[in-house]
Each structure stands twice: as C-alpha cells, then as structure tokens.
Chains A and B, each alone.
Chain A
Amino acid sequence: MLAASCCDRRMCVCPGPRRIAIPVRSSRLPLFSDAMPAPTQLFPLIRNCEIGRIYNAVCYCHHKHLCCLSPHLAHNHLRCAPQKKLATLCPKENFHQFIHARSYVSTPQRFYLTPPQVNSILKANEYSFKVPEFDGKNVSSILGFDSNQLPANAPIEDRRSAATCLQTRGMLLGVFDGHAGCACAQAVSERLFYYIAVSLLPHETLLEIENAVESGRALLPILQWHKHPNDYFSKEASKLYFNSLRTYWQELIDLNTGETTDVKEALINAFKRLDNDISLEAQVGDPNSFLNYLVLRVAFSGATACVAHVDGVDLHIANTGDSRAMLGVQEEDGSWSAVTLSYDHNAQNESEIERVKLEHPKSEEKSVVKQDRLLGLLMPFRAFGDVKFKWSIELQKRVIESGPDQLNDNEYTKFIPPNYHTPPYLTAEPEVIHHKLRPQDKFLVLATDGLWETMHRQDVVRIVGEYLTGVHHQQPIAVGGYKVTLGQMHGLLTERRARISSVFEDQNAATHLIRHAVGNNEFGAVDHERLSKMLSLPEELARMYRDDITIIVVQFNSHIVGACQNEDF
C-alpha cells in the first residue's frame, strides 16, 4: 500500500514501519495527525527546541523534496486515516504559520552539527578488528574487519555479529535487519553463529562437548566473539537458548552420518534449525513471564540475515532476505568492480516471486505477492521469525490468546494477513553462494538494505576500495584544449578535496561508507551540511529519511589468498 517505488528513493518519506505496512493506525503518525488540529494545546508541552528541530527537518524536507513528500502524505492519509481532518494534509502551511507566530523559534542554522559532533555520531558504534599476526605473519586469509551501524529507528532494529570459530577453522560475520521490532534480530545475532558452528563441528567434538555438559565440566569454547560494547547479549534467555542449542547438537550426534560436514549444508541447516527453534519456543512458552514475552516477541518480529563464513580461500555467503554481500575486486588497471555474492529475497528478484507463487495454489497467484510485498505486507520474501506468515491462523490465535496481555494489546500481532490460506508463506532457508577467493578479491562488504538503497553497489566498492588502498584514482586534472573557467575549475577542485579529506577523517571503512551513504550530494562528494541535517533529525523523523544502516567490511589478505590458491593447484 505504501508505494514501494517511494521507498527506493533516497529521500523518501515513508511514515510507519516500512517493511510491514499495516492498514491500521501507525504508531508514528499521531504526532502529526493528533497535534495538528489543536496545535496550541500540544505545542507548549513540547520543549521549544524540540519543536524547532522538528520544524527544521520538516521544512527542509519540504523545500527539497516537495514532489516526493506532499503527494505521499496525502496518499498515506487517505488510505489509512480517513477520519483525520484536512489540516494534516498540508502541515507545511501550519508549520509556517507557527514559525511566523513564534519569532523565538530557533533559526535552522542553530541546529547544524559541527564536524566533531557529526563525527561523534558517526563513530559511536564503530568497531575494528585486526586478525592478530604471529611472528609478523598473519596466517588468516582475513586481515581484519571494520563494522559500524547508524540507527534510524529508535531503538535500532539492525544487529551485527562477528566471531572466530575456535573448534573449526574460519570466521563468521553477519548483518541482521530486524522488522516489527528488534527482538528477532537480537536473538538471531546471538544464536545463529552457535548453530552454524555446531553444524560444522565434527562428530567427535560434538561428543566431547556433550560429555562435558553432561558431567558438568568446563565447555570447550566454540566461538570467540568480536563485539562492540553496544552489542549486547541477553542474559535472561541464555539458559533457554543453550537448551535449544543442546537439543540441536544432540540430534546431530544421533544423526551422525560419518561424512565430513559440507559448509553449504551446515549453513542451511543452521538457519532452518534456528528459525524452527524460535517458532517452537514461542509455541511452548516459558514459565518465566519475562522470558515468555521475550520468545513471543522474537517469534512475532522478524529479521533477515546475511552471513559470511570465511575459511582460507573458501568464502560462503548465506543470505536470507534483502541484505547483501558484495565483493570488492580490484582489476589489473587498479580500478574497482563489484561482484554480488547474494540474491536479494524480495520482489525485485523474479525467481523469488516465481518460487513463492509455486509454493501456493494457483488461486493465490494474485494475492501472494501484491504491491511488491509478500501478501501485500512484507518486503523481504524470506526471514527469521515472522510467525504471522508461517503459522496457521489457529495456531496464531491460540498462542496470542494464551499469551501475556501485552501481546493482546498489540494490534499488529493480532492482525492476520489478508488472503492467508496456505501457510507457511515465509521461510528462513538461506541461499548459499560459494566463492573461491582470488588475490584480486580485496574485501567483502556485508550490509543491510539501508546502505544498498542509498548507494549503488559500484560506488560502494569504489569508495571502500579507494579508502582501503589510500589511493584515489583521481586522474590529475589537465586543462588541455578545453574551455574551463576559473569558477568551474574551483568547483571541481573543492569537490575533489572534500572527497580526499573525508577519507582522512575516518579510521574505519564502514564509518567512511556511512558518511558517504548519508552525506553524499549529487556529485558523489560528502556534503557536510547535508550530513549534519540528516544526523540531527529527531528520532521521530529519522526513519522517514533513511533506514538503519549496518555495515561490515572484511579485508582479505591477498598474499595468503594467493599462497593458498597456489597450494590448491
């Protein structure tokens, strides 16, 4: 219903949760719709500066993206809130009246962030990990990684994880984009790597672990996490999660096939198993009311996942949903090209539409994908959680009714998707792509769709590539025989310099990428003014202009990759 085309625009306004559009009152709209009819009562309650900030943002948006905003608000309004008064259609007029009436409302300039402020926002979540070197030699094919995330939702619904497998070789890195809350993404970010690691473990190691647990001995550590202080694990659920995991490895022990574990298969199994466990835990419930509510929130929210497993030259990408993995390849002439290592699971992927349609009777062909969304609601076609798209109607009703009150009060959870005839409509099964790393493969970018919808993949790879090599493939300018004026030349040079200076500001490739994603102007250069405006948006408005962005940039060690490659042949 909310035009998807709008969402693909860089600066679109998209009130309400974007992934799932629900035709009921959205939690975000009331600020506008309620406030407008009676501004005098509401505004004094809000601190002046708050108002100022909201105003600036809205007005800014109006002037620059009038064409996008106005029709959209009207559209949205008519579709979902017909009872609202006309005034809401044109908030612009009201805002302007208000600004004129209250001369003390701050001028927009006052809220520009200084470059250090911008940096502190951008760098708040940045994290870098360098694979330690032994005797001056790094034997891993990974040099290290940079990661960062920039929230648009409050709280942020994206999650990221990175860990080294201790019982097998390799490193796991993943980005998780939650929707309808962050609970599912949080759970997946905590649990998925354990499932993958366990799937990869040989039979003997599994037995050893099981025996250790059985006899109360210390457990072999399975993963070494590389976490930013802001990345948390829920303590309360750890016991529950552990038990589910233990059940999984016990089954693996029982199923022992004696074959060596195939990474691709292990990844698929781990994804499916975790989703299954999430679903089961919600159905079974937990005597602890907090945990009970938690597992329900996890199951009723959703998350996509894009996970990379790197072991020597073997790179596996397992993807569920619309996050994306992109390989940065440096050509012989030094230029950069992008190789996509995942398929998006959304309406832009025709084979995915095909798949969904084939899984349901012909009668549902029209309704199963509507307005580029699954059942007209969900943007990603694969996801963890989202039991609304997986369970039967009866099961959903039963769980909600027996669930805690908070669940019953939530209109979203109670709402059953239209045309819901033959569940499940949604799966967490990933598509896995295997890639043999080559010396020219310099880095991998894993990022949620917040990045990919603002930047073209080619630009992403070029910016990261130039950042990592420190070389700007800016051809020296020569006037030659062209007619160039001083003014034109000055503009060109200023822009080139801005591009270089933004590189020196960042110590983290992911931060650098976010700076570009949020601050790029039409010339592909970071525009401080724009960056400042985008970052000073109030929480309520930020989501209208951008999505959460989470990025992991993994840098490969070309020497090791080259050496491994030679061994292989």
Chain B
Amino acid sequence: MFLRLLSDVRWRTASRSWRSTSSSRHMTTSAAEPPSISLPAQAQVVICGGGIVGTSVAYHLSKLGWKDIVLLEQGRLAAGSTRFCAGIVSTVRHLSIELKMADYSNKLYQQLEQETGIKTGYVKTGSISLAQTQDRLISLKRIASRLSVMGIPCEIMAPKQVAQLHPLINIHDLVGAMYVPEDAVVSSVDVSLALANAASRNGVQIHERTSISHVMVQKGCVTGVETDRGQIECQYFVNCAGQWAYELGLSNEEPVSIPLHGCEHFYLLTRPLKKPLESNTPTIVDPDGRIYIRSWQGGILSGGFEKNPKPIFTEGRNQLEIQNLHEDWDHFEPLLSSLLRRMPGLEALEIMQLVNCPESFTPDMRCILGESPTVQGYFVLAGMNSAGTSFGGGAGRYLAEWMVNGCPSENVWPLDLKRFGALQSSRTFLRHRVMEVMPLIYDLKVPRWDFQTGRQLRTSPLYDRLDAQGARWMEKHGFERPKYFVPPGKDLLSLDQSKTFYKPDWFDIVGSEVKCCKEAVCVIDMSSFTKFEISSTGDQALEVLQYLFSNDLDVPVGHIVHTGMLNEEGGYENDCSIARLNKRSFFMISPTDQQVHCWAWLKKHMPNDSNLLLEDVTWKYTALNLIGPRAVDVLSELSYVPMTPEHFPSLFCKEMSVGYANGIRVMSMTHTGEPGFMLYIPIEYALHVYNELMSMGQKYGIRNAGYYALRSLRIEKFFAFWGQDLDTFTTPLECGREFRVKLDKGTDFIGRDALMQQKQDGVCKRFTMFILEDHDTDLDLWPWWGEPIYRNGHYVGKTTSSAYSYTLERHVCLGFVQNLDEETREALVVTPDFINRGEYEIDIAGQRFQAKAKLYPFSSLFTQRRRKDEMELSGYHGK
C-alpha cells in the first residue's frame, strides 16, 4: 500500500520517455494474476516484495523445483527502489562473494531476454572506474587482480586510453583507470518483470496490491502470513520488502531484527545530446568525484553518493516524508559540480529530471541474506546498499539454494543475517551508521578501517582505564576492543591521513607490544569473546556436545579442548574452545561475531530437553589475556599458587583467586601460541584484578597490548581463525587440524561422514602459510587479504589473512592452495608434496612478490617445547 503511493508520486513526475523504457511492463503485469483472484489458503513459500530481489528469489526457487510459491507485492511489481535504480550491473566489488554475485547476475540478465522473450534493456557497455589519486589506483588494481583470476576480463589503463573509450570525458586530473568490458546496464524494472514472468510460468503465483501486516509464528517457526486480503498458511516466509524489511521484521510477535535504514539517493536524467550518446558507451564510475555516469536514451544518467546523505524513514513508513521526496538541487550541487568537472562538454545539455529514489543501507555496507536466528523458516534478502541490480540475481540464487538445500553453494557468511543481532536494531544507531555507510560506498577502502559512528555500545568495565592509557579502539559486533596503545607523548596521524595501503603509522607501537609479549608480559582485554555455558542434570550436556563437536569432549574435569563445530559437509560452523568445568557443565568460548550464529546453531540442534541448559554468559565475564614468559610469575605472586607448567599444565582450566577476588577462571592458553593465561573474571572483580595485575606486573615490565599485537603473534604461528580463514566450506582436514577431529571417539558427530570420505579421497585445498621473500616493508604495498596466490605462474588460490611478523621480520600471509587442472579447471587433490614443490608468488595490486610456502609453523619460534598434539592451535579473533 505504501509502495503504491510512492510509485504514484513518482509516476506523475516521471517523464514520458522514462515511462516508455518500461512499456513492456503492461504486458507482464497482465501475465501476473489480476488482484481479483483470491489468495490461496496455503503455500509452501510466501515471498514479500515484488522488486528485483523478490522476483529473483521466486525465479530461483522455482528453477530449483519448488513450485508452491506465492509472491505478494503491496503495490505493483517493480515499483519501489527497483523502479528508480540506475540499472548498472558491475562486478567491480571488494568482497569476493559480492563479486561472484554480480558476475552471476550479469550472466543471468544477459540470457534473460532469450529465456523469457521480454526486453530487459541489457546492453554490455563495460564500465570504467576512474582514479584521481594513486591510492585509488591501488584500490582498483587490487580489484583488477581479483577479477582476472575469476576470469572476468579487466584492464588497468592510462588516462589517454580512457579518452578513446568515452567521447566526453575530461582526463586531466586522472592518474589511471580500470576498464571492465563485460559490465552492463539494464532496465531493472524490466529485468524484474522478466524474472516474475519466468517464475509465474514455473508456477509461482504473483499477487499485486496485497500487503502483509505480519508474519504468524508458532513455537519459533513460521506458520503463515496475515495480509489485508486474508491469511495464507506457509512453511517459509521470505522478507524481500526492501526499505520496509526492517518494519516488517519488527511487526511479528517474535521480532526479527533486520538492520537496515533508508537514505535519499539522487540521480539526474538529461535530454539527449545534440549528437546522441551511443547506448553502448561505457558507464563511468568516478569514486573520487563520488559520481557514476551512464548513457541513457542518448543523454546521460548520473548520480552519486554524497558525503552528507539524508537518512529517511527513521520512524518507519512516514506519509509526509514520502510526499516530500522532492528533487533537492541544492543537495545535488556537489555531485553536479563533479559531473561537469568530469564532462565539461555537458554544460549545454538540458536537464530532464532529478530523481529522488530512497535506497536502503546496512550497518556494514553488505547486504543481508539468510535465515532469522529466532524464527525458523523466516528468510531475509534486503538491504542492497544501492547495488540491488548488480546483486539481485546472485543473491536470489544463494538464498534459494539455502532454502532448498539447507545451505548456499558459496560461503555467504559476510552477508549472513546472523552476523547481526538485536543490538544493531536501534533506529538511532541505524540512522547514524547509514550516514557513514552511504558515503563509504565511494570512499577509499583501505585495510584496517573502522566505523566511526554507532560506537561505544558494548564496552568492557576497563574501557575508561584503557582509554586513558592511550588505547585506540576497533569495534566488533558492537564491542569496543583495543587495537594498540599509543604511548604518552607520541601522536599518530589523524584519521583521514592514516588511510594507507603501505606501512601504517602504528607499526613501531605494535612492534614494541609484540616484543613485550615475547620477552616480558602483556595484558590484552579480550572481553568481547562470546561465552556460553552448557549444563545439564545428567549426561545430556556431554552427549549433545559430543554430537555437535568433532573433538572428544569426554575429558577429565579442568581440561580445555579446541574443537570445531562442523556442518554435515564437515565445514566449520564455528571454531571454539570448550572447558569442562565439572562432569555436567561446560564453558564454551567462541569468536565475538559468533554470538548470534552459534546460539542459533546450538538451539537448532539441541534436543528440547528441560534438563539441558544453555546460557549466554558473555556479559558476565571480563576476559584478560596475560601473554608472555613472565605471566607465570605475575599470576603466582598474586595467588600464592605455583603456576609453572608442572603445576598448571597447558590447556588447563581452574577456578582460583587472584588478588582478593575469588572465582576467577584461569585457563592456560593465550590464543597466540605464546605462554600465558586467559583470565575469565566476573565483571565486578574486573577492575580489581586488572589493577592487581598491573601493579604486581610492574617489576616484570607488564604493559597493555591490543589486538594488532595479538594478530601478528597468531599469524606468525600459523593460527587460522574463523570468519576470516575458516568458513563453512573449510574442513579441519584442509587446514591441518586432523588432530582435533576424533573420528573414533565412539559417538557419531555432525560432519563425521564427510570427513571420513575426505580422509579417504584426500583434500582439494590446503591451508598454507606464506612468507614474503622480496617484500620491502617500508616501501612496498602491504598484503591485506584476498590477494591471488600463484604457483609456478598459475593461479592456485587466494590469501585469507596476513600480518607482519616482528620475529621473522617478514610479512606472513595465510591462504588456501588448490590444485586446478589446467584444462578442466577441476580441483585435484592437494598433497604436501604438491605444496612443497612449487615456486610461489603473491599478487598485491598487480605486483607479484616471491613467497615461501610452509605447511607447519616455525618450531623455533616457540619458546616452550610442547608435544605437537598439545599445541594450542586456536584462534578466533576477528579480522
């Protein structure tokens, strides 16, 4: 009902020629069910939203064989943001999953006209991304090296070549550009009508002018939807409501948090040029000028992402705001200036219209895809961050696969709804954050970038103490974590100036923190980790954990086990450490951003047994990591208990007193491979224990350290971490963790069959550590992640993380190596021999550096000798 109004308002202002581009819509809408036909009483799937996203989900579901699908649209098909989007399909993306989605969308749209007979306006124009600065060119080169290994043609070119490709462009302020010839433009309205048409031919029922008031939920499962035309019982519900997805999610009795927020988005349409622009003129993206320009009916279509966006619909559907969605020329002025600077020849071109088309944005600029952690059968695909056309096809496919097969065919964790929780659903937070996200679309994306808005939401009780000591903070899942501590008297660059692809300004600071961890003792506040307690009256807890985790958890009380939580395919759903507190209760530590995902997974797989208790105790404990050879001394002095390995062996957990405080869970592990302890402290003791540690540690040279030091320590020890190196498509066998899988522990566990099979067949990718050989830390570009790995000149995989090792004085990259058959591109078995016999190179923004591959960490790095199976190979630190 609301989108209907929206489209009415815009419809009147739209010009005749704009309307003519979508003339085909009348034909297809008639193909859809007229509204007079009554709704079915039940269906397997109900999809809400008839934009490009909703129709794409319907299309792909029906392709995968699901037929009993109803698509409801409150207005008319393709009438919301889809109607007004610029229709650019571009694979120029930073995330590889986004790149894959865009690539798939492009191929899908290309053949859609042939498949359905409906004109989609698809023109392969190519796109040129311009660089006004060297840093931007580096950013483009990084994308180019990823595109080329995916087989997508692209070319880094000089400004002069750009002038040959585009007749109007001013190249004087350019340093270079990237040309992607396969990129395309479409009419997004017609694409979604074509998708709807194909879906309805496959049996999908489409009902326009039907709005959903809420989704009915019973016992945590979707049972149906309530519409203004009656109820429909259903098993699955898909929320593709775009701008309104947030509101719709909240309207349930059991709310589903879908954090997205609208911003007004403007683009300009002009009349044709005197010499009309060819329809296949490449699309120009000028991120430094914050604009995009495509040819449109002989004239141009140009919009952008301004620095001062106008958030809208903070209070939900607001009639007044919709009526006030006027052209705002004063707001558009910087973009218009930028356009005329880029194409001065357009001065005399006549304006047709300035379109105001709200788009929805998410807190981390990635779309939201997946199943709700709280309501089973409630799926979401929304928050496209102004790239709905590029991602619609691919995202729709992944969601359909997820629903039909139980999981998508690619790792979609970066887009998973479960990366967010209820804590990101505050309207104020969203409003502030999207104002930062929208300009970010065209901002330079450099490594280690932190959001500035929506901060200081979750903090440790030590936050103020650490902040006063010079802590610089990063945020993970709303939790503030120290990156490093700036010593007094030392100043770092301001935020904007610190953006670099080269050696960062904190290099020496982190170096000295690492040194202190190696030689003395450091304390790192790691309170953000997700902490669960599982207990039961009988053996139920052990039984369920044995089934959910691959390692053997039937260990003596006080032991800690590193284990993976695997899916049916043997891939990591989570990687965690579990301490057995007593016979019947376990303490589980997972990465910070697993809070929602791991909870949902456990809830889903745990029997509904009132004797089994799962509790999230994240907020109850402050975690301090005491790293370094002198940690033993500090702790034993504070507790009057000997802490040497003889008395307190590695991977051991004990409740003890530290200072005056009793009941501190001390664990002999540090997540880094360095000696030391993790202290889980009930929060009311946090300040006391911290103060005691710092004053007692003074004589041992104790100091604060941050996550950057931790990360450097961990990567040089070849510790993989979940969310970055490990994902749902990686098995323990592929990352050298066979020893954490007990195939013969006596009970079955999820993923066991797959692992048995893999053990027999051999692995097709192998987690490998690379030490960069000819890389100059001061002068060369630093690796980040996602850099292509070449073996003997052939592409074999990508890096997943990297860090500078202060011990090796070299960069270390971690990544997966595949053995791709040269002809069939099929992945063959990777043997240690294959890894060892190869000359490797890492491609950083087009420049290749020699690298030495290693399958095992440097043993000499360890200060304490340990048996290999006791080795603590864990890590769950964020990026």
A31 at the binding interface (Cβ < 8 Å): no
A483 to B348 alpha-carbon distance, docked (Å): 11
Asked if A479 and B340 sit within 8 Å, CB to CB, the answer is no
Most buried by A among B327, B333, B339, B340: B333
Q: What CA separation (Å) do A477 and B330 show in the bound complex?
A: 8
Are A497 and B349 also in contact (CB < 8 A) when A486-B270, A487-B340, A490-B336 are?
no
Q: Is the Cβ of A485 less than 8 Å from the Cβ of B351?
A: yes
Q: Which residues of A contact B348 (CB under 8 A)?
A: 485-487
Contact of B336 with A479 in the complex, beta carbons under 8 Å? no
Chain B residues touching A, majority SS: mixed
B354 / chain A contacts, CB cutoff of 8 Å = 479
**A484 touches B (CB below 8 Å):** yes
Q: How far is the CB of A552 from chain B (nearest CB, A)?
A: 32
- Whole-angstrom CA separation of A478 from B329 in the bound complex: 8
- With a cutoff of 8 Å between Cβ atoms, the chain A residues found around residue B353 in the complex are 479
Q: How far is the CB of B333 from chain A (nearest CB, A)?
A: 4
User: B337 to chain A: which residues have CB within 8 Å?
Assistant: 490, 494
Judging by beta carbons under 8 Å apart, are B347 and A487 in contact? yes
Scan residues 482-506 of chain A and give those whose CB is less than 8 A from a CB of chain B.
483-487, 489-490, 493-494, 496-497
Q: Does A476 contact B (CB under 8 A)?
A: yes
Residue from A485, A487, A493 within 8 A of B330 (CB atoms): A493
By beta carbon, the residue of chain B nearest A474 is B330
Contact indicator per residue, chain B 735-775, by CB within 8 Å of chain A (1) or not (0): 00000000000000000000000000000000000000000
Indicate which residue in B326, B330, B351, B352 contacts A497 across the interface (CB closer than 8 Å). B330
Q: Which of B327, B337, B350 gathers most chain A CB within 10 Å?
A: B350
B346 at the interface (CB under 8 A from A): yes
Q: Which residues from chain A contact B333 at a C-beta distance below 8 Å? A: 490, 493-494, 496-497
**A476–B349 contact, CB under 8 A?**
no
Contact residues in B for A494 (Cβ distance below 8 Å)? 333, 337
- By beta carbon, the residue of chain A nearest B348 is A485
* Known A486-B340, A487-B340, A490-B337: A476·B329 in contact at CB below 8 Å: yes
> Given A479-B351, A479-B353: A489 and B329 within 8 A (CB)?
yes
Known A-B contacts A493-B336, A494-B337; A486 and B351 likewise in contact (beta carbons under 8 Å): yes
Does B328 sit at the interface, judged by CB under 8 A? yes
A477 to B333, CA, bound (A): 11
What chain A residues lie within 8 Å of B349 (beta carbons)? 485-486
Contact B350 A483 (CB under 8 A): yes
Q: Tell me, in angstroms, the Cα distance from A384 to B337 when the chains sit together.
A: 54
CA distance A487 to B349 in the complex (A): 8
Which residues on the B side are within 8 Å of A477 (C-beta)?
Answer: 327, 329-330
A489 touches B336 (CB 8 A): yes
Give the contacting residue for B327; candidates A478, A483, A485, A486; CB below 8 A: A478
Q: Given that A486-B270, A486-B336, A490-B337 are contacting pairs, would A496 and B350 also be in contact in the complex, using a CB cutoff of 8 Å?
A: no
Cα A1 to Cα B354 with chains together (Å): 58
Judging by beta carbons under 8 Å apart, are B326 and A476 in contact? yes
Contact residues in A for B270 (Cβ distance below 8 Å): 486
- B-chain residues with CB within 8 Å of residue A485 when the two chains form the complex: 347-351
In the complex, chain A residues whose CB is within 8 Å of the CB of B352: 479
User: A485-B351, A486-B270, A487-B347 in contact; A476/B328 too (CB < 8 A)?
Assistant: yes
Are A486 and B339 neighbours in the complex by a CB distance under 8 Å?
yes
For A487, the chain B residues whose CB sits under 8 A away are: 340, 346-348
Question: How far, in Å, is B548 (CB) from chain A's closest CB?
Answer: 60
**Complex Cα gap A490–B332 (Å):** 10
In the complex, A125 Cα to B353 Cα: how many Å? 47
Chain A contacts for B340, CB-based, 8 A: 486-487, 490
B763 to chain A, nearest CB (A): 58
Q: Which residue of B lies closest to A483 (CB)?
A: B350
A476 to B326, CA, bound (A): 9
B347 to chain A: closest residue by CB: A487
Do A486 and B326 touch across chains, with their CB atoms under 8 A apart?
no
A388 to chain B, nearest CB (A): 56
Given known A-B contacts A486-B270, A486-B340, A494-B337, A476 and B330 have beta carbons under 8 A apart: yes
Complex Cα gap A490–B351 (Å): 11
- Give the distance to chain B from A481, nearest Cβ to Cβ, in Å: 10
A474 CB, nearest partner CB in chain B, Å: 8
Residue of B nearest to A477 (CB): B329
In the bound complex, what is the Cα–Cα distance between A494 and B337 (angstroms)?
9
B271 (CB) vs chain A CBs: closest residue: A483
B642 nearest CB across to chain A (Å) = 67
- A476–B329 Cα distance when bound, in Å, is 7
How far, in whole Å, are A493 and B329 apart by their CA atoms in the complex?
7
Task: Tell me, in angstroms, the Cα distance from A476 to B339 when the chains sit together.
Answer: 21
Give the residue name and chain of the A residue nearest to B346 (CB).
A486
Alpha-carbon distance between A496 and B339 when the two chains are bound, in angstroms: 18
Taking the closest CB of chain B, its distance from the CB of A66, in whole angstroms, is: 30
Q: What CA separation (Å) do A494 and B268 show in the bound complex?
A: 17
Per-residue CB contact flags for chain B residues 535-560 toward chain A (1 = under 8 Å, else 0) read: 00000000000000000000000000
Per-residue A-contact encoding for B302-334, CB less than 8 Å = 1, 0 else = 000000000000000000000000111110110
How far apart are the CA atoms of A388 and B333 in the complex, in Å? 59
A492's closest neighbor in chain B, by CB? B329
Per the bound structure, the CA–CA distance linking A487 and B352 in Å amounts to: 13
Closest chain-B Cβ to A489's Cβ sits at a distance in Å of 6
Docked Cα-Cα span, A474 to B329, in Å, equals: 12
Q: Write out the residue numbers on chain B whose beta carbons fall within 8 Å of the beta carbon of A474.
A: 330
The residues of B that contact A497 with a CB separation of less than 8 Å are 330, 333
State A486–B342 Cα separation when bound (angstroms): 13
- Give the residues in chain A near B350, CB-CB below 8 Å: 483-486
**A122 CB, min distance to chain B CBs, angstroms:** 26
A493 to B334, CA, bound (A): 9
Separation in Å of the A478 CB from the closest CB of chain B?
A: 6
Distance of A484 Cα from B328 Cα, bound (Å): 15
Residues of B within 8 A of A479 (CB): 327, 329, 351-354
Q: In the bound complex, how far is the Cα of B13 from the Cα of A479, in angstroms?
A: 11
Tell me, in angstroms, the Cα distance from A493 to B333 when the chains sit together.
6
Q: B339: which A residues are within 8 A, CB to CB?
A: 486
Query: What is the CA–CA distance of A490 and B336 in the complex, to the nearest angstrom?
Result: 7
Q: How long is the Cα–Cα vector from A479 to B336 in the complex, in angstroms?
A: 14
A197 to B795, CA, bound (A): 93
A490 to B346 CA separation, bound complex (whole angstroms): 11
The residue in chain A whose Cβ has the minimal distance to the Cβ of B349 is A486
Name B339's closest neighbour in chain A (CB-CB).
A486
Residues in B whose Cβ lies below 8 Å from that of A489: 329, 336, 351
A490–B302 CA distance with the chains assembled, in angstroms? 14
CA gap between A486 and B271 in the complex, in Å? 11
Q: A486-B340, A486-B349, A497-B333 are in contact. List 20 more A-B contacts (CB 8 A).
A: A476-B327, A476-B328, A476-B329, A478-B329, A479-B329, A479-B351, A479-B352, A484-B350, A484-B351, A485-B347, A485-B350, A486-B346, A486-B350, A487-B346, A487-B347, A493-B329, A493-B330, A493-B332, A496-B330, A496-B333
- A residues whose Cβ falls under 8 Å from a Cβ of B: 474, 476-479, 483-487, 489-490, 493-494, 496-497
* A-B contact list, 25 entries, CB within 8 Å: A476-B326, A478-B326, A478-B327, A478-B329, A479-B329, A479-B351, A479-B352, A479-B354, A484-B350, A485-B348, A485-B349, A485-B350, A486-B349, A486-B351, A487-B340, A487-B348, A489-B329, A489-B336, A490-B333, A490-B337, A490-B340, A493-B332, A496-B330, A496-B333, A497-B330
The 4 closest A-B pairs by CB, nearest first: A487-B347, A493-B333, A477-B329, A484-B351
